[in-house]
Amino acid sequence: MRDPDISVVICVYTEDRWEDVLAAVSSVRAQSYPALETLLVVDHNPALLDRLAGEYKEAGDVRVLANAGPRGLSAGRNTGIAASRGAVIAFLDDDAVAERDWLRRFAEGYADPRVMAVGGRTEPVWASGRRPDWFPEEFDWVVGCTYRGLPPGRVRVRNVLGGNASFRRTAFDAAGGFATGIGRDGDRRPLGCEETELCIRLTRARPDAVLLIDDRAVIHHRVPEVRERFAYFRARAYAEGLSKALVARSVGAGKGLESERRYTTRVLPAGVARGLRDALLGRPGGAGRAAAIVAGVLTAAGGYVMGGARARRGGTAFRVVEVTQTAGGAGHAGTAATGEAQDG
């Protein structure tokens, strides 16, 4: 099987991350396995769209386009998928940089024709220069990074993590695109789980599909100071609970919470025990990490209960779209399913 052409999609929304966006694009252009193209999808920000179009007007390998759907990360990704030309579409956060072999590791995973998605490892880059003493590695997903508890190496998983992930184009043909109504929308509540819902939907549409994480496909993700604070930690944990409730109502609690059960019954208790042990040994932050894990679990559980109650009262408004590519990579994302998610 020939090596796949890979399009890279970077969704952007604010000029506050201008230098980060330029660094992200530069890291893609420096790959040992060259990308076919980089698509910058701008989320309803005309000034940023114009500025980026001017920055890359002479670049044949970078295209700048506007989000063709509703505001938010999912619609931006769908716009990039539809406009891309690669057999594989990779996604990189706008405030992250990829290591030189990032795309090479993705490409290696697709040597097996059953593989429909490959994700990688995301390392935090703390604005303060170091991890806060109280911040547990088990909760690095709060800042969009790989967390303690994921298995090492190249392993099969239920879902990849959206800021460092790739999919075969045929995955979107089988399952549709990212669901709108789930996930990030600019600076609103920090929801997530759109990639979880997509991956579960994909494996239902293609039961033979294999999804992998390869921890050699590394990116480095900037964590601003505001996200190093406990207030953000708590808000993100609550939002994750809300998001998980939405996913569970869409795909059923069995699949929607399959990985979370192991995480909460094995990974987190071990993290609490480590924190308490460190506290007894006089190591900095041990008690804080143990307390943060407990607080994070309780806050996420509260969000899950609230999200479930809201869904039962008013239904769950989200859309799964069909992403269509046309000749030359110009495509569109049209609504394929709309309305309430059903209990599984």
Q: How far apart are CA 233 and CA 21, in angstroms?
A: 24
Q: How far apart are CA 41 and CA 9, in angstroms?
A: 7
pLDDT higher than 70, residue 326: no
Q: How far apart are CA 191 and CA 185, in angstroms?
A: 8
Please give the backbone phi and psi of residue 112, each rounded to the nearest 5 degrees, phi first: -90, 120
The pLDDT of residue 108: 97
- Range name among 88-92, 231-235, 311-315 with the lowest pLDDT average: 311-315
CB 68 within 8 A of CB 332: yes
Buried b / exposed e over 95-122, threshold 16 CB at 10 Å, is bbbbbebbbbbbbbbbeeeebbbbbbbb
CB 270 within 8 A of CB 289: no
CB 164 within 8 A of CB 122: yes
Residue type at 78?
N
Q: Mean pLDDT across the stretch 56-72?
A: 95
Please give the backbone phi and psi of residue 11, each rounded to the nearest 5 degrees, phi first: -90, 130
The pLDDT of residue 268: 95
What does R_g of the chain's alpha carbons equal in angstroms? 19
pLDDT higher than 50, residue 344: no
pLDDT higher than 90, residue 225: yes
Q: What are the pLDDT digits (tens) for 23-52?
A: 999 999 999 999 999 999 999 999 999 999
Comparison of pLDDT for 150 and 188, the residue scoring more = 150
Comparison of pLDDT for 194 and 153, the residue scoring more = 153
If pLDDT is split at 50, 70 and 90, which confidence band does 328 have? low
Average pLDDT, the chain: 88
Q: What are the pLDDT digits (tens) for 235-287?
A: 999 999 988 887 777 666 555 466 778 889 999 999 999 999 999 999 999 99
Rounded to the nearest 10 degrees, what angle do helices 46-55 and 18-29 cross at?
40
